[in-house]
Chains A and B, each alone.
Chain A
Amino acid sequence: EAGVAQSPRYKIIEKRQSVAFWCNPISGHATLYWYQQILGQGPKLLIQFQNNGVVDDSQLPKDRFSAERLKGVDSTLKIQPAKLEDSAVYLCASSPTGGGSPLHFGNGTRLTVT
């Protein structure tokens, strides 16, 4: 089974610029998650989709972050405008269902904001 695919692997931008990340989950997985992992910390949930609907976006900074999951498959996460504190690894994960099923992670996109 192919894993969760993410691109790009690395991105360097200047503050106030915009950036977008792409995620393709494991085939058939209904639930998709975006996590932010700051260096030395555990991943923090930004947004969770169930098919193409948002289940939880309570920790998403909505003034600058947006995410969509069209057709319930691929997803994009956008930051506009970026701040220095957005420097982190952005991890996408998927699971067959919600409610306690284990997550399968991609290798993430490492964002550096200068």
Chain B
Amino acid sequence: QKEVEQDPGPLSVPEGAIVSLNCTYSNSAFQYFMWYRQYSRKGPELLMYTYSSGNKEDGRFTAQVDKSSKYISLFIRDSQPSDSATYLCAMSARYGGATNKLIFGTGTLLAVQP
């Protein structure tokens, strides 16, 4: 079993739709949860960052973490064609403050149709 599971998609939605992206994980030591957005032929860029459980909102984006279910989500409201990209979930545990081994999901390819 992979440490982080993510549906690769592709996911195609019409402009203005609410998008839900999800990841599950198996390592209960994970405490830091991130979502990265990766445009074609570019490096991943940090979109959302949360520590432990709870919700975090930033504009049209909301990240949710449910540690009891080992499940994280990213919601995109009023999706735009410019949101078309691959979305990668990533997470890490803290080992004595020294390492930050970030484990990534496979990424979900999202296409927002105008």
Binding site for B on A (CB under 8 A): 4, 31, 33, 40-45, 48, 50, 55-56, 91, 93, 95, 97-108, 110
Query: Do A98 and B100 touch across chains, with their CB atoms under 8 A apart?
Result: yes
Selected contact of B100 from candidates A4, A40, A99, A107, CB within 8 Å: A99
Cα A95 to Cα B34 with chains together (Å):
14
Query: Do A101 and B100 touch across chains, with their CB atoms under 8 A apart?
Result: yes
Assess A55 versus B107: contact at CB under 8 Å? Given A91-B43, A99-B94, A103-B46. Answer: no
Q: Which residues of chain A have C-beta atoms less than 8 A from B8's C-beta? A: 40
Query: Do A55 and B46 touch across chains, with their CB atoms under 8 A apart?
Result: no
Binding site for A on B (CB under 8 A): 4, 6, 8, 31-32, 34, 36, 41-46, 49, 51, 88, 90, 92, 94-95, 97-102, 104-107
How many pairs of residues, A versus B, come closer than 8 Å at their CB atoms? 70
Query: Do A50 and B98 touch across chains, with their CB atoms under 8 A apart?
Result: yes
Selected contact of A99 from candidates B45, B49, B99, CB within 8 Å: B99
**Could you pull out 9 A-B pairs where Cβ atoms are within 8 angstroms?**
A42-B106, A43-B104, A45-B101, A93-B43, A100-B31, A102-B46, A103-B102, A105-B36, A107-B42
Q: Which residues of chain A have C-beta atoms less than 8 A from B88's C-beta? A: 42-43
Known: A33-B102, A40-B8, A42-B104. 6 other contacts (CB 8 A): A41-B107, A43-B44, A55-B99, A98-B99, A100-B100, A103-B46
Q: Which residues of chain B have C-beta atoms less than 8 A from A91's C-beta? A: 43-44
Q: Chain B residue with minimal CB distance to A50?
A: B98
Selected contact of B43 from candidates A44, A48, A99, A106, CB within 8 Å: A106
Q: Which residues of chain B have C-beta atoms less than 8 A from A44's C-beta? A: 104
**Lowest 10 A-B CB distances belong to which pairs?**
A42-B104, A105-B43, A100-B32, A98-B100, A99-B97, A107-B43, A102-B46, A42-B106, A105-B44, A99-B94
Query: Do B105 and A42 touch across chains, with their CB atoms under 8 A apart?
Result: yes
